[in-house]
Amino acid sequence: MSHYEETLSEAKQQELLEKYDPEAGTRKLKGMPLWMAFAGLLAFSIFHLYTGVFGMLTAQLQRSVHLGFALALIFLLFPARKKNKGKEIKIAWFDIIFAIISVIVGAYWPVMIDDLVLRTGNITQIDFFVGLAAILLVLEATRRTVGLPITIIAIVFMGYAVFGPYMPGAIAHRGLELDRLVQTMFFTTEGILGTPIGVSSTFIFLFLLFGSFLIKTGVGEYFNDLSIAIAGRSVGGPAKVAVFSSALQGTISGSSVANVVTSGAFTIPMMKNLGYKKEFAGAVEASSSTGGQLMPPVMGAAAFLMVEFIGGISYWEIAKAAAIPAVLYFTGIWIMTHFEAKRIGLRGLTKEEMPSRKEVLGKLYLLLPIIAIVLLLMSGMSVIRAALWSIVITVVVSAIRKETRIGFKGIIEALVDGARSALGVAAATAAAGIIVGVVTKTGLGLKMANGLLDIAGGALLPTLFLTMIASLILGMGSPTTANYVITSTIAAPAIILLGVPDLSAHLFVFYFGIVADITPPVALAAFAAAAISGGEPFRTGVESTKLAISAFIIPYMFVLSPELLMIDTTWTYLIWVVFTAFIGMIAISAGVIGFWMRKLNWMERIASLGAGLCLIYPENISDIIGLVMFAILLALQYFYKREHIPKVQN
């Protein structure tokens, strides 16, 4: 541990998580309810470990059991009213009833499977009420765990399914009777039990378990110390520590807000202590933590959905394709923090504020599970097997030293914590399944894609811009998984119709669904960072958006030049594209911050931004223009240091 001690207490971190991350806001239980929830969470994890080791059940059984567990536990752990989250209150009588009905809903497919298969396409009155209960429970569970936005969207889509004949113009359809809607939603694999929850009940759950086991080893704290050891002494070191640490934290956290709170509790006070403004300190952490979901090998949960939505592609291919854009994203933030530190003359950490390099290097073995999962995925092993072996490797590696050893108690706690972290994802993917079911049944996806193309005049850049806006709006306050499901079924097809590769189109909407967490007016990650820094939330969001400017540019880059995703390219051309993009990031960062080797005037800032955009745009003529402009600006900076450069603070 470093000598820097001014960090937030665990209680304060939990308070912030509950305020800004709906998935973290559980009620505090004691006595028998506590043990019931504990046993339920443990059984939830054991079920998934068992099916992961011995083989998954058939789709309907695996998904319905997963859904039953998740719904029942949500009603035990998440109170109906937001103001009761984090408080010691009794479980309401209606929550007990909801939990019991949830168990019945989850068990209905396993118990009745023979009858349900025989009468495919027809449902009895009992089937109807069980299916209706499933829909209502999913909507309420989603509201409690991930908030109102996605719940409202799911309700609107179901309303569209029922009232199709009354819809205007091209979006009108024949409409679905209520019993047909219920049948689609719960008795097929096109609704609640569709692909989204299928991915949640297989890949995502096991990777969340893996992350839970990593946390038990203390790897999160180690990421902070390793980051300080690498970047702490450099100019503006604490900000660079935040960038590096958050990139690493992204390998074990699927939530931008959780990443901000856990990493930012350490880095934000350190940045403020060395002279960064409150809003800038919060923005560095928010933009870096949000980017954690873009960083392979373990990306956000939506990346696992991408495997199923694209089809014919492995998770490793997605992770490999996302590697260069992720590195460019963090490079952009790193360069901006460097220029900002030089602009205001900030020092790095002193030797006394640094952790012992010997101790830090002595714990490098904690990175072995992450290295292992990369190698396992590269070898062609299935995602499920790779996750299982990574959990085993984590437990073995933790035993090397006493202070990192998990032990039996730690294993049980990791299983319970992993299951708890999966509840919000399960609810969100179930609600997303409702949306996908309506889109599939009504043909809305193709209608929306064609409508988007009509508005954009069939041109690629306007279509991309409109898709970006839709993804940002849908991502405001919604989990990335649900956002990706909606945009990939409605907006991504429009991009694909214009000849863009499937992977580029899906990663495009994936990126903007994630950066919605730092884009005002609803920027949950930025607001959480502001709560730690004491800065003004909206201004922190604006600063976060400026720092993450690369995230608004990179998706356009890999759509216009799929070579950036290592699609149909040669190594020589790939190196050239990455080189020009990197130089472009330097120019754009200087233009945004207003400082390079010295302060830039307004003309130089515009020229710097122009040079950066030319370099980032993957085309030979624009690259040449951009390089010439960059060289001229660099020469002007080097030979004419007319402005006073602040002295580095001691």
Sequence letter at residue 548: A
Q: Could you tell me the two tokens for 140?
A: 């309420």
- pLDDT, tens digit, 9 for 90 and up, residues 254-272: 677 777 887 787 778 878 8
Q: Are 393 and 372 in contact (CB under 8 A)?
A: yes
Angle between helices 205-216 and 383-398 (to 10 degrees): 10
Give the Cα separation of 513 and 532 in Å (integer).
24
Whether the pLDDT of residue 515 is over 80: the answer is: yes
Nearest to 484 by CA among 318, 595, 356, 283: 318
Nearest to 519 by CA among 541, 538, 534: 541
Give the Cα separation of 548 and 555 in Å (integer).
12
Give the Cα separation of 522 and 504 in Å (integer).
26
| Per-residue three-class SS string for 125-140 | HHHHHHHHHHHHHHHH
DSSP state of 23: G
- pLDDT, tens digit, 9 for 90 and up, residues 475-494: 776 777 777 888 888 888 88
Q: Are 13 and 262 in contact (CB under 8 A)?
A: yes
The mean pLDDT value for 627-645 works out to: 78
The pLDDT confidence band at residue 9, using thresholds 50, 70 and 90, is low
Give the Cα separation of 294 and 587 in Å (integer).
23
Task: Tell me what pLDDT residue 648 has.
Answer: 47
Give the Cα separation of 184 and 189 in Å (integer).
8
Name the average pLDDT for the chain. 85
- pLDDT, tens digit, 9 for 90 and up, residues 420-479: 989 988 999 999 999 999 988 888 888 888 888 888 888 899 999 999 988 888 777 677
DSSP state of 599: B
Q: Could you tell me the two tokens for 8?
A: 């937030």
Q: Could you tell me the two tokens for 225?
A: 């110390």
Task: Tell me what pLDDT residue 17 has.
Answer: 63
- What kind and span of H or E run contains 536? none
Nearest to 143 by CA among 437, 482, 440: 482
Give the Cα separation of 544 and 290 in Å (integer).
10
Tell me the Cα Rg of the chain. 25
Task: Tell me what pLDDT residue 383 has.
Answer: 87
Q: What is the pTM of this model?
A: 0.85
